[in-house]
Every structure is written in C-alpha cells, then in structure tokens.
C-alpha cells in the first residue's frame, strides 16, 4: 500500500483564506462567512506530491482537505457540532486514501485535542503538536544566537504555559536558560507546570496570570488558543524576541508597526524534503510547511501509522522522538517569517543593531516602568 497522508486546514482569516480557494466568496463580509461556514460541506483542496525522504528515498503524497468552520464558529458552536464537521472532513480524507490524518490550527485544539475525532475515524490522527514544540524551541534558540543573546543568561516567558505546547516548550528550554516566567489563566495548572519545568532543570521559575509581566522577558514563546491577539506593543521590552506559535496569532500587528526593535518570528515553519508541490497557496514559500503538517508527513515517511500526538498531555519523550524522525527524513527549520513575510538579512541586521547598541526606542523607559493594566491571557 502506498504511503500517504491528509491534513485538515480551515480558514483562519476568513476573507483571505476563503478567497484562496473561492475568490468570490472571499469578498463577502466576515460575519457572513462565519455564518455560512457551518453549512458548507468538507472541501477537497489539493493533492500534495513529491515529498521524498533523505534517509531512504521513500516518496510520499497526500492531500489538503478543509473543514469550512472559522475559529469564531468553532469557539461559539457546541463541541459536538464542531466534532461532527471535523469528523466529516476526516472521512473525506479516508475516501481519498490517506493512511494518517493531521489536524491543523483550531481543529487540533478544540475540545479534547483530537481524542474524540480519532475515536470516530478508521485512520490514525495526530495534532502535530510534538514537532511544533521542537521547531518552536529550535527557532527561539536560533534567533537568540543570531541576536547574540546567550541562553544561559536569558529570561524566558511562555505565554499559554498551561497548554500542551507551552508546558513542554518550558521543559525543553529549562536546562539552558536562567529564568522562565510561565503565563496563563489558571494558577493551579501554572503551579503544576512550574514543578515540571523545575524538574527539567530550571530552578528560577515564576508564574503569572497577567500578560504585562512579559516586559522583563528577552525571549518569548507564545501559544494560546485565543481568537484575538493578546500581546501588544507595550507588553514587550526593547530588543525582545517573540516566537508566535499560535494560529490565529497571539502577537498584534501593531507590534510590527510600532516596535522596530522587537523581532517577531512565526513558530513552526519547516522545510519539507524533496521537490514537494502542495498545489495550493496557503501563504508559505515553496517547500515550506507548518511543523504540524510536517509531523504528519514525517510519520508517514517513517511508516509509523499511529495516533502519535493526541489530547492535552504531551510527553517530552514524544517531542524528542518525532524530532529525531523528522531530522532523519530531512525536515529542517525553514528560516524566519514575520506576519507572513520572510524576514530579510537587512531586517535582521537592523534589529540586531538595537541589541548591540542597547539603544531603546523612544518611550521604552516608560513602557518598562509602568506597563498598563490589561486583561488576563485568554487560553
């Protein structure tokens, strides 16, 4: 039987994403797209060809299939209704011949993190969160090295720390950094995550339910399941590096407009081995995919057809295992992007200049001194 996979996508930015497949529908008002999304059936998007393992030359093909629900609809509808729509999309993947299914964006976090969906399908399911974690940590470490920020002396913040991804990101970074601030909404869960991070090797661990505590962090990984941005320009110290793993984004576009000293990178972009053709523009350069997509592909290339990452509890060992599998087959960190645009060498040099000269932006002292009161993080 041929090695194959499918991956579920769905519209994150309703007008932009819908217009990629249906230009006329993308011109409708957002509220109308949100409303209509419940009534659309699962959608075949494209066939993915020419993925090829660097380890053994094995080839792989797959499909993008779309669940039509927007994030707003997924969060407002009863979970059973959302599950039904995602399962219908999974059954389309089965009919196409997929042997494993990856869940993208909100389809991986709604409800119980894929467990109910997997129980109603005949093929294994993975959220892709394990490789997303590994890639996010690699990205923040690489960015820190470029900006000459030694990990051993760095203050790190994890926003959305009580989630499956945030918790293990903290554990992976724990042996290498000076201090970790865990930010989330539920104090009891934060305390449990703090214990795990301490056991992983970082003794200086703090917890907070307030986003304004970010202003002391040099390195930030943010991965909430909020629909709207939670990190604004005033939350960040001069020269901070932010790896935004969340979809929709946690970092406001105002950060790019108002904070030229801050480096914001999208977490989870991976270069796929082989002359891959996705036959669909989902906003990435050629050969690039989200890490959650790459996990599904790597498992298929490994012929490991199992529900690898499911639920809200991810083990550090899972992350280390999928990272080794992906590396062996030729998946690698795919460079830096920020707000859907590649970060150029000139932009890196400009931001790096701020770091080297320690020159804060105008008004930064005020930002650091008295950050405004804000709402707690929405997870």
Residue 63 in any domain: the answer is yes
Instruction: Answer yes or no: do 256 and 137 share one domain.
Output: yes
Instruction: Answer yes or no: do 222 and 360 share one domain.
Output: yes
Whole-prediction pTM value? 0.85
Structure tokens at 378: 């929405």
Instruction: Answer yes or no: do 321 and 224 share one domain.
Output: no
CB-side neighbour CA atoms (13 Å) of 272 = 30
Residue 280 in any domain: the answer is yes
Total number of domains constituting the chain: 2
Instruction: Answer yes or no: do 153 and 110 share one domain.
Output: no
Instruction: Answer yes or no: do 219 and 362 share one domain.
Output: yes
Instruction: Answer yes or no: do 226 and 182 share one domain.
Output: yes
Other beta carbons within 10 Å of 298: 32
The boundaries of the domain holding residue 166 are 133-268+336-369
Instruction: Answer yes or no: do 290 and 248 share one domain.
Output: no
CATH assignment of the domain containing 181? 3.40.50.720
Number of residues that this document lists for the chain = 379
Residue 71 in any domain: the answer is yes
Residue 374 in any domain: the answer is no
Instruction: Answer yes or no: do 100 and 171 share one domain.
Output: no
Instruction: Answer yes or no: do 113 and 47 share one domain.
Output: yes
Instruction: Answer yes or no: do 246 and 170 share one domain.
Output: yes
DSSP 361: P
Residue 378 in any domain: the answer is no
Could you read off the pLDDT tens digit of each residue along the chain, which spans 379 residues?
689 999 999 988 888 888 888 888 888 898 888 888 888 899 999 999 999 999 999 999 999 999 999 888 888 899 899 999 999 999 999 999 999 999 988 888 787 889 999 999 999 999 999 999 999 999 999 999 988 899 999 999 999 999 888 999 999 999 999 999 999 999 999 999 999 999 999 989 999 999 988 988 999 999 997 878 899 999 999 889 999 988 778 999 999 889 888 999 987 679 999 999 999 988 888 999 999 999 999 999 999 999 999 998 899 999 999 999 999 999 999 878 888 777 878 888 888 777 666 544 444 444 434 333 333 343 4
Instruction: Answer yes or no: do 137 and 90 share one domain.
Output: no
Bridge partner residues of 103 (DSSP): 8
| Separation CA 355–CA 148 (nearest Å) | 8
Q: How far, in Å, are 4, 64, 119, 330, 359 from residue 303 at the CA level?
A: 9, 19, 21, 15, 51
Residue 160 in any domain: the answer is yes
Residue 379 in any domain: the answer is no
Residue 184 in any domain: the answer is yes
Instruction: Answer yes or no: do 203 and 290 share one domain.
Output: no
């Amino acid at each position: 039987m041929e090695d194959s996979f499918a991956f579920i996508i769905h519209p994150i930015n309703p007008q932009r994403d819908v217009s990629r497949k249906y230009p006329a529908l993308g011109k409708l008002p957002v509220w109308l797209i949100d409303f209509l999304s419940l009534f659309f059936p699962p959608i075949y998007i494209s066939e993915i060809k020419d993925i090829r393992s660097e380890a053994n030359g094995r080839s792989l093909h797959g499909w993008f299939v779309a669940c039509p629900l927007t994030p707003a609809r997924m969060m407002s509808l009863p979970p059973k209704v959302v599950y039904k729509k995602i399962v219908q999309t999974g059954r389309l993947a089965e009919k196409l011949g997929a042997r494993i299914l990856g869940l993208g964006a909100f389809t991986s976090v709604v409800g119980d993190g894929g467990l109910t969906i997997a129980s109603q399908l005949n093929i294994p399911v993975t959220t892709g969160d394990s490789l997303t974690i590994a890639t996010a940590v690699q990205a923040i470490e690489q960015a820190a090295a470029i900006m000459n920020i030694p990990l051993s002396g760095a203050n790190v913040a994890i926003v959305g720390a009580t989630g499956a991804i945030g918790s293990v990101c903290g554990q992976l970074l724990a042996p290498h950094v000076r201090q970790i601030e865990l930010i989330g909404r539920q104090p009891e869960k934060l305390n449990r995550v703090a214990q795990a991070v301490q056991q992983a090797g970082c003794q200086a661990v703090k917890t907070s339910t307030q986003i304004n505590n970010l202003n002391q962090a040099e390195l930030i990984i943010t991965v909430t399941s909020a629909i709207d941005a939670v990190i604004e320009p005033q939350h960040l110290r001069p020269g901070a590096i932010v790896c935004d793993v969340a979809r929709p984004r946690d970092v406001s576009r105002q950060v790019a407009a108002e904070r030229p000293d801050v480096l914001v990178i999208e977490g989870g972009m991976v270069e796929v081995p082989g002359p891959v053709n996705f036959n669909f523009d989902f906003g990435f350069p050629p050969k690039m995919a989200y890490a959650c997509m790459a996990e599904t592909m790597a498992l298929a290339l490994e012929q490991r057809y199992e529900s690898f990452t499911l639920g809200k509890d991810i083990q550090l060992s899972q992350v280390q295992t999928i990272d080794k599998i992906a590396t062996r087959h030729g998946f690698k960190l795919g460079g830096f992007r920020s707000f859907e645009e590649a970060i150029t060498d000139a932009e890196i040099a400009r931001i790096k200049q701020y770091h080297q000269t320690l020159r804060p932006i105008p008004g930064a002292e005020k930002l650091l001194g008295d950050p405004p009161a804000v709402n707690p993080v929405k997870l």
